[in-house]
Amino acid sequence: MVANDADYTMVAASEERLRATMTRREDVIGHPLFEVYDGGAASPGNSQLRASLAEVARTGRPQELKTIGYPLRRPHDEGGKYENRYWDVVNVPVLDEQGQVSYIIHQAENVTESLLEQEAAALRLRESDERLNAALLASGTGTFYWDLHNNRLDMDLPMQRLFGLEGLTSGWLDDLLGTIHPDDRESIAQQCERCARYGDDFEMQFRVRLPEGNERWIFDKGQTFTDANGRPSYMVGACLDITQHKRTEQALHRLNETLEQRVNAEVAARAKTEAALRQSQKMEAVGQLTGGLAHDFNNLLAGVIGSLELLSVRLDQGRTDDLQRYIRSALTSATRATALTHRLLAFSRRQTLDPSPTDLNALIEGMMELLQRTIGPMVSYSTRLSDGLWLTLCDTNQLENALLNLTINARDAMPDGGELTLISENMRLDEPLAQEIGLQPGEYIALGVRDTGVGIPPEKLGYVFDPFYTTKPLGEGTGLGLSMVYGFAKQSGGGVRIESTVGEGTSAWIYLPRHYGQSANLHTPTNTELAPASVEGRTVLVVDDEPNVRSLVTEVLQDMGLNTLEAAEGPSGLRILDSDAHLDLLISDIGLPGGMNGRQLADAAREKRPSLRVLFITGYAEGSVLQRSNASYDYEVLTKPFTISNLEEKVRSMLEPGQEAEET
């Protein structure tokens, strides 16, 4: 600050004033203001300041000047040059008792640095805007401001160029919509309406028509802002030229269509080749199966036919002293044929199973003596059975056969002796291992047979479960043992796995599902030493489409003193069941002609004769046909071929002694 009298002579000055103006107190006090601070007569600030001081002296009212430029001369020892300074000035009068201006307080704030910073910032902003505009022009991106209240649209130069509207920096929304392709115009107008009414943001791809007749693809994205009352006020957004992208996309789409056609053709050709390969492999497997089956059955039939022919010749000759030898030979061959078919049915998972809760450890311990005799003295035998082993639900006899088959294979793989170990474990199969075996993840009981034999080469490991495939020398194996094990495990809801290393040995594993329940061993055993019960006078209906089998069964039943009725197919058997005929037992084949199988016949008979006992005789049946019901009184099964004694025993057990005749 500086104080001036009426003729602008300085009578006081602040230290800050002296510092800012680069002067000394003795150079200021008592000297005229414009003599000390001579910015030159042509200085705009000089004339502005003189006019302001004169107005304050005349009116006695303060005046304020903003950002006036006033050059100052530096001291001579600092060069004596003028430097521009910019000031915010306030001139305030000091009045005497008569109300006249006696002094003027001249207060000046140096705003030079602030002004220079503002100018620099403005310059940087201008340069930034120029760079942004250049970048937008180069990238094909335009920006806009849409006043939603007035429907006014402001566009920058890049956006004008995108829409072919050069020179139209500001206009109505309808001016812009007029350039939109007719097919896209309605959808854009609807979305603009939602933005103006509800404050939605805008995002869309559309086409515009340029004045020269070309089309351009635009990607438009805008954000809506609201006013203080929460109503949509304006939108700020950008537009991008995506024409080249769309052309590339369309070209790629056309290429993909062509590529898809080529891929489909290639896949079809590959599928055809794979189908031919699978058919070839299937025919090879069928050829191997039928060849092995024909070979084994020819050998067995030769024994049966030869024995029966010799039996006929001896009867014609009247030589009856040695007939039992031929009968035994025929029966032996037929029994071996039965075992062969059972193994084939096991592989195909069509054998008739009688599952029951089974303790695997108890089964292994019960077979220990038999297994030790089977493997012979050259192989050491050990077990590794887990405590607390879970139960499994399976056919115990078939599991014993499977264990025996695996043990024999292990023995044959150790011709010079070795070690055989039987293992039982509780296992929780996770997804990878379960998928490898072909099972669902869950809890299983594992039976393992491990040997230290010659092992199986990797190229043969994938065929070991095929029927009639064997790694043993010619004549030393049928190739049905492992196929029977495979079929039994699969039919029981489990699976098999073999690990082998040549020269180190093989481990074969059977996985069977865990069973929750009591062991069958807890049931009270049946007394088998009772004398056969008399069943004479009872009536049995025999239904079988094979005349020889039907005749054989009825003859055996008649020899037991039973009355018999016969039917060749389901509907005729059902007519007998619907009649008033008294019946104590129904014996039926599963596979019957006439549109009704044996299980359907039995179910229909039970509707009118709920307590009728049923015995199915079958070679094989689908599991769904022989699915046991929840009724406590269900059925029994006898598997073909069967012996006369087995048939008699089964019939006697079902016709209990003292059973009252059925009421019809």
Residue 663 lies in a domain: no
Beta-bridged to residue 586, according to DSSP, are 541, 614
Q: Write the pLDDT tens digit of every residue in 587-634.
A: 998 888 888 888 889 988 888 888 889 998 887 554 444 555 444 446
- pLDDT at 529 > cutoff 60: no
C-alpha atoms less than 13 angstroms from C-alpha of 408 in its C-beta half-sphere: 17
Last residue of a domain, one of 522, 548, 567: 522
Last residue of a domain, one of 226, 241, 256: 241
Is 360 in the same domain as 474? yes
What's the average model confidence in pLDDT over 311-334?
A: 78
- pLDDT at 134 > cutoff 80: no
Number of independent structural domains in the chain: 5
Give 327's contacts (C-beta < 8 A, 6+ positions apart): 307, 311
Residue 529 lies in a domain: no
Per DSSP, the residues of 315-358 read HHHT--TTHHHHHHHHHHHHHHHHHHHHHHHHHTT-S----EEE
Count other Cβ atoms within 10 Å, centred on residue 459.
7
C-alpha angle with apex 473: 497 to 496, nearest 5 degrees?
10
Please report the pLDDT score of residue 33 as a whole number: 80
This prediction's pTM: 0.40
Is 627 in the same domain as 587? yes
User: What is the band of 505 on the pLDDT scale with cuts at 50, 70, 90?
Assistant: very high
Residue 527 lies in a domain: no
Please report the pLDDT score of residue 527 as a whole number: 43
Report phi then psi at 31, rounded to 5: -110, 145
Report phi then psi at 550, rounded to 5: -60, -40
Q: Which of 297 and 236 is assigned the larger pLDDT?
A: 236
Is 142 in the same domain as 159? yes
Please report the pLDDT score of residue 467 as a whole number: 59
Read off the CATH number of the domain in which 482 is found: 3.30.565.10
Is 494 in the same domain as 405? yes
Is 394 in the same domain as 494? yes
Residue 661 lies in a domain: no
User: What is the band of 446 on the pLDDT scale with cuts at 50, 70, 90?
Assistant: very high
Tokens of 224: 């809506």
User: What is the band of 542 on the pLDDT scale with cuts at 50, 70, 90?
Assistant: very high
Residue 639 lies in a domain: yes
Please report the pLDDT score of residue 332 as a whole number: 79
C-alpha atoms less than 13 angstroms from C-alpha of 401 in its C-beta half-sphere: 20
Please report the pLDDT score of residue 658 as a whole number: 47
- Round the average pLDDT of the chain to a whole number and report it: 79
What's the average model confidence in pLDDT over 343-352?
A: 51
User: What is the band of 6 on the pLDDT scale with cuts at 50, 70, 90?
Assistant: low
Give the whole-angstrom CA distance, residue 655 versus residue 644: 17
Is 367 in the same domain as 383? yes
Is 227 in the same domain as 261? no
Instruction: Return the SS3 of 545.
Output: coil
Residue 214 lies in a domain: yes
Is 94 in the same domain as 123? no
Q: Write the pLDDT tens digit of every residue in 15-72.
A: 888 888 888 888 888 888 877 776 554 566 678 888 888 888 888 899 998 888 777 7
Is 340 in the same domain as 403? no
Is 99 in the same domain as 153? no
The most confident of 182-191, 266-275, 338-347, by mean pLDDT? 182-191
Query: Judging by DSSP bridges, how do beta strands 418-429 and 379-385 pair with one another?
Result: parallel
Lowest mean pLDDT among 105-119, 205-219, 309-323: 309-323
Is 557 in the same domain as 635? yes
- pLDDT at 540 > cutoff 90: yes
Which residue range forms the structural domain that includes residue 322? Answer: 247-347
Q: Which of 352 and 572 is assigned the larger pLDDT?
A: 572
Contact 493, 349 (CB under 8 A): no
Give the whole-angstrom CA distance, residue 18 versus residue 25: 7
Last residue of a domain, one of 206, 241, 276: 241
Residue 532 lies in a domain: no
Please report the pLDDT score of residue 445 as a whole number: 92
Read off the CATH number of the domain in which 592 is found: 3.40.50.2300
Calculate what percentage of the chain has a pLDDT beyond 90. Answer: 17
Residue 121, Cβ density class (10 Å: 0-12 exposed, 13-18 middle, ≥19 buried): exposed
Please report the pLDDT score of residue 341 as a whole number: 66
Give the whole-angstrom CA distance, residue 405 versus residue 485: 8
User: What is the band of 567 on the pLDDT scale with cuts at 50, 70, 90?
Assistant: very high
Residue linked to tokens 């001139």: 91
Read off the CATH number of the domain in which 237 is found: 3.30.450.20
Residue 645 lies in a domain: yes
Asked if residue 657 has a cis previous peptide bond (ω within 30° of 0), the answer is: no
Is 123 in the same domain as 106? no
User: What is the band of 530 on the pLDDT scale with cuts at 50, 70, 90?
Assistant: very low
